[in-house]
Amino acid sequence: MKFSYFLPTKLSFGFGALDGVGSEVKALGGTDALVVTDGVMVKTGIARRVTERLGIGCDVFDEVEAEPRIEVAQAVADRVRSGSYDLVVGVGGGSSMDMAKAAAGFATNQGPARAYVGNNLFAKKPLPSIMVPTTAGTGAELTVTSMVTVDGHKQWINSPLLLPSVAVVDPDLTMSMPPGVTAATGMDALCHNVEAYLSGLANPITDSAALEGVGLIARNLERAYDSGGDRMAREGMSLGALMGGIALQAKMVYGHSIGYTIATRFKLPHGVSCGLPLPYVVSNYAVACAPKMKKLAEAFGVEGGDDPSELGRAVGGKVMAMAAHLKIPTTLKALGVAEGDLAALADECVTMYPRPNSPLVFDSRSMGALYRRMWEGSLDA
């Protein structure tokens, strides 16, 4: 066995972790920060809770949108380059943290934001950055990626240089999430853990994190959705999402690719777009990932014997039941996808969003068959 794992980010986790953010700023030598967030975080006062604890001067960029377009990335690039900042702080969900990571890179690397869409395109070390997640979903505080929408299609700005300097994960900041946001972000976290576990690039570190993350989310997501004030459930979800961020170094498989093909068309939250395919992905990958299915089923609390296909259907059924509880669509038909569009969506998936790390190889025909099953609601691979 041969693998590598890289995670230089310092992590501070737990209720009250936010109170120590000033010490992290001081350790990084920050004197002037750009805080990257969205209007909701400003309106609810969460952004102020963070800025009051930084202990230094700061400006706030609050124009981040859900599923940010490349134009938003350009706006944050212009803003960070207009000042003399020596620190970037991201406050919010995955979109805000993604734009904060990008801002740190744009501060020291010139040129249009579009020039950095792709992999490993930053030449100079970014500014130090601190991520403060307010949802339990993306794990973006521990990843190298900033997702952007370019001309209606999901793309990414990837670089190991974008890994944050510090992640401050305080579950208290998630307590006010409404049920719909809890559902979507929680399903996103579940997708990260499961897809990373099924990836051909998985290793013992990512597998351990992924299985722990799956178990935490399977036990706590519905509780957090039903009772937002359940502190233990919120803590479990924050930790489960964080585990997903650790596991993501193994990369995702075709569940996220499928999600990209429907996200912008139907204006779906990211967790909904990748959550809908998840049960079908699990059932389809079960034979290709046969040695791993028993542990995955155990993490979900599911029993299904030793046959990988049976385990895949059992786990897929568990995910579908969770999605139904969370009021997340479980079929493409229910979402509103036309039957006549399935082939084009499948072709877009394998053409625009390939997954060379996937242990299960798809072409347009086999992907089309998977889209058909997702449309009909069949877990039979």
Which residues is 158 bridged to in the sheet?
119, 145
Nearest-CA neighbor of 278 among 242, 324, 237, 239? 324
**Across the strands, what pairs with 50?**
none
Query: What pLDDT score was predicted for residue 134?
Result: 97
Share of the chain above pLDDT 90, in %: 94
Which pLDDT score, from 0 to 100, does residue 284 have? 96
In eight-state DSSP terms, residue 341 is: G
pLDDT band at residue 290 using 50, 70 and 90 as cut-offs? very high
Confidence check: pLDDT of 230 > 90: yes
Tokens of 35: 């805080």
Give the confidence band of 1 by pLDDT, cuts at 50, 70, 90: confident
What are 168's strand-pairing partners? Answer: 12
Average pLDDT, rounded, for the chain: 96
Q: Note the pLDDT of residue 229.
A: 97
Largest CA distance in the chain: 60
Q: Hey, what are 161's tokens?
A: 């240089």
Between 381 and 98, residue with greater pLDDT: 98
What's the average model confidence in pLDDT over 180-206? Answer: 97
The pLDDT-based confidence of 6 (bands split at 50, 70, 90) is: confident
SS3 call for 37: coil
Q: Please say if the pLDDT value at position 381 is more than 80.
A: no
pLDDT band at 4 (very low <50, low <70, confident <90, very high): confident
Whether residue 2 has pLDDT greater than 90: no
pLDDT at 232 over 80: yes
Say what the pLDDT of residue 123 is.
Answer: 96
The reported pLDDT for the residue numbered 3 is 87
For the segment 222-238, the average pLDDT, to the nearest whole number, is 98
User: Which pair of structure tokens corresponds to residue 359?
Assistant: 């242990």
* Cα dihedral sign, 352-353-357-358: negative
Domains and CATH numbers, the chain: 10-174 (3.40.50.1970), 179-376 (1.20.1090.10)
Radius of gyration for the chain, computed over Cα atoms and rounded to the nearest angstrom: 20
pLDDT of 341 over the 80 cut = yes
Please name the residue ranges forming H helices in 109-198. Answer: 179-198
Q: Cβ contacts of residue 338 below 8 Å, gap of 6+?
A: none
Tens of pLDDT, residues 157-190: 999 999 999 999 999 999 999 999 999 999 999 9
pLDDT class of 128 with cuts at 50, 70, 90: very high
Structure token pair of residue 282: 């699990």
Check residue 173 and give its pLDDT: 98
pLDDT the model gives residue 233? 98
Distance, CA of 316 to CA of 338 (rounded, Å): 23
Q: What is the pLDDT of residue 306?
A: 87
pLDDT tier, 380 (very low <50, low <70, confident <90, very high otherwise): confident
> How far does CA 278 lie from the centroid of its chain?
14
Using CA atoms, how far apart are residues 47 and 50, in angstroms rounded to an integer? Answer: 5
- Residues present in the chain in total: 381
Residue 304 has pLDDT above 80, yes or no: no
Query: Quick one: pLDDT at residue 305?
Result: 83
State the Cα–Cα distance between residues 195 and 202, nearest whole angstrom: 10
Residue 255's pLDDT is 97
* Separation between Cα atoms, residue 218 and residue 224, nearest integer Å: 11
* pLDDT at site 186: 97
Residue 126 DSSP one-character state: P
Q: How far apart are CA 16 and CA 12, in angstroms?
A: 10
For 62-114, how does the pLDDT look when each residue is reduced to its tens digit (9 = 90+)? 999 999 999 999 999 999 999 999 999 999 999 999 999 999 999 999 999 99
Instruction: Please tell me the predicted confidence (pLDDT) of residue 8.
Output: 92
Q: What does the pLDDT average to over 10-38?
A: 98
Burial grade of 76 (CB within 10 A; 0-12, 13-18, 19 or more): buried
The identity of residue 70, as a single letter, is I
